[in-house]
A = this chain, B = another copy of it.
Amino acid sequence: MMLSAVMEDYIKAIYHLHKENEERVRTSEIADELDVTAPTVTSMLDKLEERNLIERKKYKGVSLTAHGKRVALEIIRHHRLLEAYLTEHLDYSWAEVHEEADRLEHHISDEFVTSIAAALDDPETDPHGDPIPNSTLELPDGGPGIALSEFEEDTIVIVEQVSDRDSEVLEYLADHEITPGTELTVREVAPFGMITVLAGDNDQPVSLPQHIAHHVRVATVEPAQVFY
């Protein structure tokens, strides 16, 4: 059963939207995500249902079947391994990789995937901190972290993952050393939600509007790791 690149993008979009919503994914959400019109989505959903990739309640939305989930995880594995490989071995900046990976993910063979995974020593996360499904498509455990926007002043946290969607934001974050692994100290939380942090070795604090801070996911530092 060969899937087109377009079908794979629909499956991946449904998977990601599913994560965010828990519930069924609606036609209009998919249309927004993929920048197509609602009727286009409806007709694609017909085809995906025929192929047993999704389950559907008409007018109510869709969810992935076990088969659909496998396809999604395979594409996501491709995407994140590509991002890691481009960053590690081909000098791509942290902010540029997403677009290239989003195209190539549909066109690489199993052999290519195996080769880059081996060259990277089977990494567990991509450059943005997102988990990479292993060769049997299981996701490494470790929760999704907590949004930076949840924290109060004077908390110390470690960045686990940043959203890889907007490359301008990504560039801003990278420039200010807000990358997976960096320790952040929350300095100020403004009433309108803007959060100001001290990042890594940087002297200058960085301010992030709430909607940006929402896409930086962090872990709290264990007491044992804080040295007074």
Query: A residues touching B (Cβ–Cβ < 8 Å)?
Result: 86, 89-92, 96, 99-100, 103-104, 106-109, 111-112, 115-116, 118-119
Contact = CB atoms under 8 A, between A and B. Distances in A.
Contacts of A119: 89-90
B100 A109 contact: yes
A107 B86 CA distance: 15
A5 to B, nearest CB: 9
A108 B90 CA distance: 13
B92 A115 contact: yes
Contacts of A99: 109
Contacts of A108: 100, 104
| 5 closest Cβ pairs, A-B complex | A90-B115, A107-B107, A103-B107, A91-B115, A100-B109
17 contacts: A86-B115, A89-B89, A89-B119, A90-B115, A90-B116, A91-B115, A92-B115, A96-B111, A99-B109, A100-B108, A100-B109, A100-B111, A103-B107, A104-B104, A104-B108, A106-B107, A107-B107
A43 to B, nearest CB: 21
A14 to B, nearest CB: 23
Contacts of A116: 90
Contact of A112 (B90, B106, B112): B90
Nearest to A109: B100
A75 to B, nearest CB: 15
Nearest to A118: B91
Contacts of A103: 107, 109
Given A90-B119, A100-B108, 12 more contacts: A86-B115, A89-B89, A89-B119, A90-B112, A91-B115, A92-B111, A92-B115, A96-B111, A100-B109, A104-B104, A104-B108, A107-B107
